[in-house]
Amino acid sequence: MKITEIDILQNMLRQISSSDKKNLESLFSFLDTKEKEHIEEGKEIVLGKYGLRHLLGKGGMSIVFLAWDREKCHEIALKILKCKDVEPGYDELLRLVREIKALSSLKHNSIVEFYESNDIHYKGIRLPCFSMEYIKNGKPLYCFLEYPNCIEWSIEIIKKVAWALAYAHKKNILHRDIKPGNIILDHLGNPKVLDFGLAKILGETESFRPTKEKCLLGSPQYISPEQYKNPLKVDKKTDIYSLGTVFYHLLTGRLPSASLEKWSYHGEEDKKNLEQIFQNFTLNLNFFQDIHLDKHIEKICQKALAIDPAERYSSIEELIQDLESYSGLRSNAQEHFLFFHDRSPYPLKKRRVFLTYHSHLSLEEIANSENTYAELILFQGTECYIIIRKRFMLNGKYVSSGNQRLYDGDWLNIHGNIVSYKKLVRY
C-alpha cells in the first residue's frame, strides 16, 4: 500500500502531545487546508529509506525520530533539520554539517554512535538529516534529579562522561551543551553523551546567530559564565564547568546557582533577567544540608565549578584523577557511620544492628519485629548490607523487601527522618 504525504503528517501528529504539534506543523507547514482535513489516525510513516516510528525529541533547529532503516534493517535515531516551506538556510546547514563532522569523528563507548548523513525529500523540499545509534530503553539523566543520589553511583556516571569528553577534547571538539538532557543511560545503566549540535571544533572559525528560542548558545543552567559572555571564545574548561554542574545536581538534587534554578525563558524580560544573573554571577554551594557529602567531594565540586576558569581544573583528566583518588579512599575505609540530621554521627561497630522507628529513629541491637524497618550487617569490615523489613524510601525510591549492599552516600527516609550511610574518609 502506498503511503501518502497525508499519512506521514497524520501519524507524526498522532504520536506527540498537543504542545509539540506546532513544531511538526512548522516542519510540514506547506500542506494546504484540504490535505490537513484528510488527516486520520493509524497509518505507517515512510520517508525515503526510513520508516518513522515516533518522536524522540526536538530542539531549536531539528527534530529527532525513532526510525527504521529499511536498507540496513535496524532501529536508528534520525535527526532531521527543521524547515518551513523552503529549504534550510546556510546558517542552519552549517551547524548541521559541524555536528555531523564532530559526531562522525568520535568513536567512544560513552558517546552515541554516528551512522550516516542523508537527505529526505518531501514534496520537493530537501530535508537534510543524519542517523545515529538509538539507545533502546534509555533514560535521560534528568530522570534522576528529583532527590540527591549516592556518591558512588554519581561518581561512576560522571567519570564515564568525563572520559568521553576527554576523548572528544583530544580530537579538539568541545561539546558546549553538557546537561542531564544530553546524557542518557542505556539499559545497563551506562551513560551515553548525545547532541553535538552546539559542538565547537577548535581551530575552525564559526558564525553564531542566536535563535528565537534561546538568547545564547547552550542551556543557561549548565553553561559556564564565560560561555554566556562569549560562546565563540571558550576552551575545554567550559565543558568541565558544565560537567561539574551536572555532578553537583546529581549529588544534591539542586543546581549550584539558586538564581538559575528559578529562571526560565518566556520572553524578552527573561533575557534581561538572565543578563543580570550573569553580570552578578554567584554560586550557592551548600554541603551542610547534605549529610551524605564530605569535605573531599566539596573540594572537587568547588574546583570544577570555579567561576574564574584559571581556578578550575586545567583538564578533564585532572578531574577524573581526583574522582578516582577519592573513590580509592572510600573503598579502603573501614569506619562505617550513619549520619542523622538531628544528632551526632553514629559509628557502626557491631556486626549487626537494627534500624527501628517509634516516635523517632533509633538503632538497637535486638530486633523488634513491629518497629524494625531494616537490619544493617557489616561484612569483612569494608562492606555494609541492608536487609529491608518494612517499607521506606531508599535513595528516593520506595522499597519494601529484599537485601542489597549499601554504598557510600546512600540515604534512607523513614517517616520524614533522613539517615545517610557513609564510610568515613579522614581529612
DSSP state of 395: T
177: annotated active-site residue: yes
DSSP state of 12: H
SS3 state of residue 2: coil
Residues 92 and 421: their CA atoms lie apart, in Å, by 50
Residues making up the chain, counted from first to last: 427
Residues 292 and 273: their CA atoms lie apart, in Å, by 34
Q: Which residues on adjacent β-strands are paired with residue 201?
A: 173
DSSP state of 47: B
| Active-site residue (options: 177, 195, 294, 408) | 177
CB-CB neighbours of 41 under 10 Å: 9
CB-based burial of residue 69 (10 Å sphere; 0-12 exposed, 13-18 middle, 19+ buried)? middle
Residues 16 and 25: their CA atoms lie apart, in Å, by 12
First-last CA distance in the chain: 71
Residue with cell 543578563: 275
- The x, y and z cell numbers of residue 222, run together, are 549548565
Give the residue ranges of DSSP H helices in 138-177. 151-170
* Residue-wise burial string across 157-169, b where 16 or more C-beta atoms lie within 10 A, e elsewhere: bbbbbbbbbbbbb
Residue with cell 545536581: 249
Q: Which residues are catalytic?
A: 177
